[in-house]
């Protein structure tokens, strides 16, 4: 029997400080630019203040991209435009600087961390720091078998918790969370459909490389079959992840929950991180208050999950590549919100003479009105 009690997260996770947020709102009302004129940037700045328990808000100076990686055996069914077991090559390209997330991270000066949880490749082919949390090589084919054993699921969840602690302890002040996977969007679709009580067709998207109609039908069938296996275990979130998730998705869920415990804000990248967040919400209902949806990837499963959590994407640029790229595009927006909230000057306070004159004028106007 597992010694991991997920119910503890409901007690450990607090909401961002509401009193601080009210102070931030009051400060915003005193600034030279009228409240509301900066649109959603006002809300972002106030949210960050509450998350940091600081007024004025501190700048986001130590962000980090964290990518959990894994291969999903369901990709053997032809549900992805990439060949099954090829996520390891994507990881190598990320590390070598050849993926969109690598380019954006260089431009923005943000370090990228890749955590191998279940890549189907020789661990010797990757740096030791990348593979040290690996739970297994590849995951079970979720339409006919469990993705993980219960022991592997617990190990993966604990690994995600440990990575969140490592980031918080190192001073990371905001995480862009993404995945590097092949078949991961299929597993994510199953989780979203199961938790939202909907059919496979409602959550089945075309993935990062836009699969054709025939592959979409195969993916929809795989999600439908896995969904039948998921429904009986909906009451046990760890078992749900073991049945139809995978080591990377299980670790991401643990990471998200522990980030909320440590009061470390997270930008969710695409459908995989959104699905894990939805599982996290089932475990601890206050946890989504620590997360932002970076962008709309166009995946129907992501839209369904974000709607259920009442998270509105910051951007909508049609970026489907995954791997944290869309999340990184939203990062400058969050940093801009913090800078504006902290650095815009407040309106000069009225002098005592002006206040008295204003009061006298108001009194005269009232008298005139009564006459």
Are residues 322 and 250 part of one domain? yes
206-260, pLDDT tens digit by residue? 876 678 899 999 999 999 999 999 999 999 999 999 999 999 999 999 999 999 9
Q: Looking at residue 3, what is its pLDDT?
A: 75
pTM for the whole structure: 0.91
Rounded CA separation 113/119 (Å): 15
Count how many domains the chain has: 2
Are residues 129 and 93 part of one domain? yes
Tell me which residue range forms the domain holding 131.
63-333
Query: What are the C-alpha distances in Å from 80 to residues 87, 242, 245?
Result: 11, 21, 16
Are residues 249 and 106 part of one domain? yes
Are residues 24 and 51 part of one domain? yes
Rounded CA separation 313/9 (Å): 25
69-81, pLDDT tens digit by residue? 999 999 999 998 8
Are residues 135 and 275 part of one domain? yes
Q: Is residue 2 part of a domain?
A: no
Q: Is residue 357 part of a domain?
A: yes
Residue 323: active-site member:
yes
316-364, pLDDT tens digit by residue? 888 888 889 999 999 999 999 999 999 999 988 775 545 444 444 444 4
Are residues 360 and 346 part of one domain? yes
Are residues 358 and 244 part of one domain? no
Tokens representing 97 are: 């600087």
38-60, pLDDT tens digit by residue? 999 999 999 999 999 999 999 99
Are residues 356 and 231 part of one domain? no
Q: Is residue 3 part of a domain?
A: no
User: Mean per-residue pLDDT for 121-148?
Assistant: 96
User: Mean per-residue pLDDT for 116-122?
Assistant: 97
Question: What percent of the chain lies above the pLDDT cut of 70?
Answer: 93
Strand spans (E) along 101-205: 112-118, 174-182
Does residue 31 surpass a pLDDT of 50? yes
Q: Cis link prior to 181 (omega < 30° from 0)? A: no
Are residues 162 and 48 part of one domain? no
CATH assignment of the domain containing 347 = 1.10.1610
Mean pLDDT computed over every residue of the chain = 92
Rounded CA separation 215/48 (Å): 41
Residue among 323, 343, 346, 357 flagged as catalytic = 323
Question: What percent of the chain lies above the pLDDT cut of 90?
Answer: 85
Are residues 109 and 151 part of one domain? yes
CATH assignment of the domain containing 192 = 3.40.50.10210
């Amino acid at each position: 029997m597992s010694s991991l009690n997920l119910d503890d997260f409901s007690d450990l996770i607090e909401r961002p400080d509401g009193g601080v947020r009210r102070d931030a709102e009051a400060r915003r009302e005193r600034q030279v630019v009228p409240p509301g004129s900066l649109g959603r940037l006002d809300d972002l700045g106030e949210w960050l203040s509450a998350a940091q328990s600081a007024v004025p808000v501190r700048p986001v100076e130590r962000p980090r991209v964290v990518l959990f990686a894994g291969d999903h055996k369901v990709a053997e069914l032809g549900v992805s435009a990439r060949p099954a077991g090829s996520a390891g090559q994507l990881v190598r390209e990320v590390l070598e600087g050849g993926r969109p997330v690598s380019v954006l991270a260089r431009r923005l000066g943000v370090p990228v961390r890749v955590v191998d949880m279940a890549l189907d490749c020789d661990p010797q082919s990757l740096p030791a720091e990348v593979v040290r949390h690996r739970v297994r090589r590849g995951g079970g084919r979720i339409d006919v078998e469990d993705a993980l054993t219960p022991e592997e699921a617990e190990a993966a969840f604990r690994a995600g918790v440990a990575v969140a602690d490592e980031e918080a302890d190192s001073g990371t002040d905001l995480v862009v969370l993404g995945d590097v996977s092949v078949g991961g969007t299929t597993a994510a679709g199953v989780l979203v459909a199961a938790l939202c009580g909907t059919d496979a067709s409602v959550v089945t998207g075309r993935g990062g490389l836009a699969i054709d109609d025939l592959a979409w039908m195969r993916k929809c069938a795989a999600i439908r079959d896995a969904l039948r296996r998921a429904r009986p275990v909906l009451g046990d979130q760890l078992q749900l992840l073991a049945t139809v998730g995978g080591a990377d998705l299980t670790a991401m869920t643990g990471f998200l929950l522990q980030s909320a415990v440590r009061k470390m804000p997270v930008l969710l990248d695409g459908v995989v991180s959104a699905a894990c967040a939805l599982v996290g919400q089932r475990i601890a209902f206050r946890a989504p208050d620590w997360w932002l949806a970076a962008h709309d990837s166009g995946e129907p499963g992501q839209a369904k999950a974000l709607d259920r959590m009442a998270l509105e994407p910051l951007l909508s640029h049609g970026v489907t590549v995954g791997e944290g790229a869309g999340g990184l595009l939203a990062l400058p927006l969050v940093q801009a919100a913090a800078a504006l909230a902290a650095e815009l000057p407040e309106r000069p306070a009225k002098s005592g003479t002006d206040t008295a004159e204003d009061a006298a004028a108001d009194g005269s106007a009232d008298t005139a009105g009564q006459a």
